[in-house]
């Protein structure tokens, strides 16, 4: 910048009286402004400190347990911290399975709802529908849990039995101890399963995935939509060739954001499952577990070391949701910048 100054001053150099030196542009600001900026930075610092404190404290307390458990923390299924025999193999598998079941159910629902709101719904209804979906995201998880435990549990047993009878040859749909040919067999083997917990969590993550997808779909460029219509495309043609390709980032990102929420869900899962501390890969069978349910179950009776072990489990859960959310938001951000390509 300073190199330009002599060149600028050249023509005027004959007359040194009116030599025009650029004024230093520095906004010192009034006292009030400096105070305001200081206060703003301060509030940022307070938030930063709180947030970092959570992360650092979690890591610090978890380190104690992790030093004892070392690598076996990831491979042990049992949770007996006081005899130094504990690990998150079972709970982490359970968490991921519940998340996957939830996502498998939520994605078609969210996709259909998002497409309906952005493409088919009458213009007048759209805002109402958007706030109804927001409402669905704000329904307390304990309400979903009640519904799952007192209503869905009884209804899904039949479905679980049907699936396990006809598709039991697929390894993860198998149910041990169930005899489909025995009409008097008890149905308790099908209750409190990963599948039912996943269904309830699916309802909780559908609105989150749906709102991200809807936003991505509504940003599909108008020019290309109209171009497709002008070429004689049907509505489905437009959706298939314009809306979905442009919204793909939103679909993937919304799915992952939903997965992040599903992994951290506590109360609804806790109310439905009956906890087991073994890797349970049969999703239709009684017994499941998740990291957050483990914390809710064991925090009260934990010793100091047990608390540290729970912290380690919480840290593992946090890191997992953090990675999933980070990938999701970077995908969503990238897809938005791509959607700006107006025809």
Chain residues 26-85 in contact with other proteins, contact rule CB under 8 A: 29-30, 32-33, 35-37, 39-41, 43-44, 46-48, 50-52, 54, 57-58, 61
What minimum distance in Å lies between the beta carbon of 24 and other proteins? 19
- Phi, psi (5° rounding) for residue 57? -60, -45
Scan residues 284-313 and list those touching other proteins (CB under 8 A).
Answer: 292, 295-296, 299, 307, 310-311
**Residues numbered 118-137 forming contacts with other proteins, rule: CB under 8 A:** 119-121, 127, 131-136
* Residue from the set 69, 163, 203, 339 that interacts with other proteins by CB under 8 A: 203
- The CB-of-100 to other proteins minimum distance in angstroms stands at 17
How far is it, in rounded angstroms, from Cα 198 to Cα 180? Answer: 23
- Cα 225 from Cα 233, distance rounded (Å): 9
User: CB–CB of 189/201 below 8 Å?
Assistant: no
Minimum CB–partner distance for residue 16 and other proteins (Å) = 34
Distance (Å, whole) CA 219 – CA 70: 48
- CB of 249 or CB of 264, closer to other proteins: 264
CA angle centred on 75, ends 200 and 188, rounded to 5°: 40
| Interface map 206-235 toward other proteins (x if CB under 8 A) | x---x-----------------------xx
Stretch that binds other proteins, among 222-230, 244-252, 272-280, 323-331 (CB under 8 A): 323-331
Pick the piece of the chain touching other proteins (CB under 8 A) from 86-94, 170-178, 318-326, 335-343: 318-326
Which one among 239, 243, 272, 283 touches other proteins, defined by CB under 8 A? 239
Cβ proximity to other proteins, 18 vs 184, nearer residue: 184
Q: How far apart are CA 166 and CA 163, in angstroms?
A: 5
- Among residues 259, 263, 273, 283, the one that binds other proteins under rule CB under 8 A: 263
E-strand stretches of 63-216: 79-80, 85-86
Q: How far apart are CA 279 and CA 45, in angstroms?
A: 43
Residues 80-109 that bind other proteins (CB under 8 A): 108-109
Q: How far is the CB of 232 from other proteins (least distance, A)?
A: 9
By the 8 A CB rule, do 119 and 239 touch? yes
CB of 286 to other proteins, least distance (A): 19
- CB contact at 8 A, 313 and 296: no
Q: Which is nearer to other proteins, 9 or 63 (CB)?
A: 63
**Total site size for other proteins, rule CB under 8 A:** 88
The CB-side HSE value for 56 (13 A sphere, CA atoms) comes to 6
Task: In angstroms, give the least distance from the CB of 295 to other proteins.
Answer: 5
Burial class of 147 by CB neighbour count within 10 A (0 to 12, 13 to 18, 19+): middle
Nearer to other proteins, 274 or 281 (CB): 274
Cα(202)–Cα(139) distance, rounded to whole angstroms? 13
Considering only 165, 174, 329, 336, the residue that binds other proteins (CB under 8 A) is 329
For 202, other C-beta atoms within 10 Å of its C-beta total: 25
* Separation CA 266–CA 293 (nearest Å): 6
In this chain, which of 260, 275, 287, 306 binds other proteins, going by CB under 8 A?
260
Decide: 305 and 80 in contact? Cβ < 8 Å: no
Q: Of 305, 296, 259, 255, which is closest to residue 275 (Cα–Cα)?
A: 296
Residues in 136-175 at the binding interface with other proteins, rule: CB under 8 A: 136, 138-147, 149-151, 155, 158-159
């Amino acid at each position: 910048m300073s190199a330009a100054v002599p060149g600028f001053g050249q023509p005027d150099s004959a007359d040194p009286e009116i030599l025009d030196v650029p004024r230093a542009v520095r906004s010192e600001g009034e006292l009030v402004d400096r105070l305001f900026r200081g206060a703003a930075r301060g509030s940022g610092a307070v938030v930063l400190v709180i947030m970092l404190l959570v992360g650092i404290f979690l890591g610090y307390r978890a380190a104690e347990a992790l030093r004892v458990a070392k690598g076996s923390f990831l491979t042990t299924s049992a949770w007996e911290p006081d005899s130094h025999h504990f690990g998150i193999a079972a709970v982490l598998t359970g968490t991921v399975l519940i998340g996957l079941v939830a996502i498998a159910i939520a994605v078609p629902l969210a996709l259909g709802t998002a497409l309906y709101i952005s493409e088919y719904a009458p213009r007048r209804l759209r805002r109402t529908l958007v706030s109804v979906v927001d409402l669905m995201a704000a329904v307390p998880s304990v309400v979903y849990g009640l519904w799952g435990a007192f209503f869905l549990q009884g209804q899904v047993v039949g479905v679980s039995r049907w699936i396990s009878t006809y598709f039991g040859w697929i390894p993860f749909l198998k149910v041990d101890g169930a005899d489909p040919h025995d009409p008097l067999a008890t149905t308790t083997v099908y209750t409190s399963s990963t599948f039912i917990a996943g269904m309830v969590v699916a309802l909780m993550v559908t609105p989150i995935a749906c709102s991200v997808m809807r936003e991505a779909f509504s940003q599909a460029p108008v020019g290309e939509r109209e171009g497709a219509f002008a070429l004689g495309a049907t509505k489905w043609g437009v959706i298939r060739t314009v809306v979905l390709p442009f919204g793909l980032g939103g679909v993937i990102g919304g799915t992952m954001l939903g997965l992040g929420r599903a992994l951290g869900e506590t109360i609804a899962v806790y109310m439905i499952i009956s906890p087991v501390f073994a890797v349970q890969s049969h999703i239709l069978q009684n017994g499941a577990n998740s990291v957050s349910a483990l914390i809710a179950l064991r925090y009260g009776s934990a010793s100091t070391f047990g608390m540290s072990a729970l912290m380690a489990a919480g840290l593992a859960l946090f890191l997992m949701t953090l990675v999933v959310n980070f990938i999701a938001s970077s995908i969503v951000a990238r897809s938005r910048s791509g959607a700006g390509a107006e025809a």
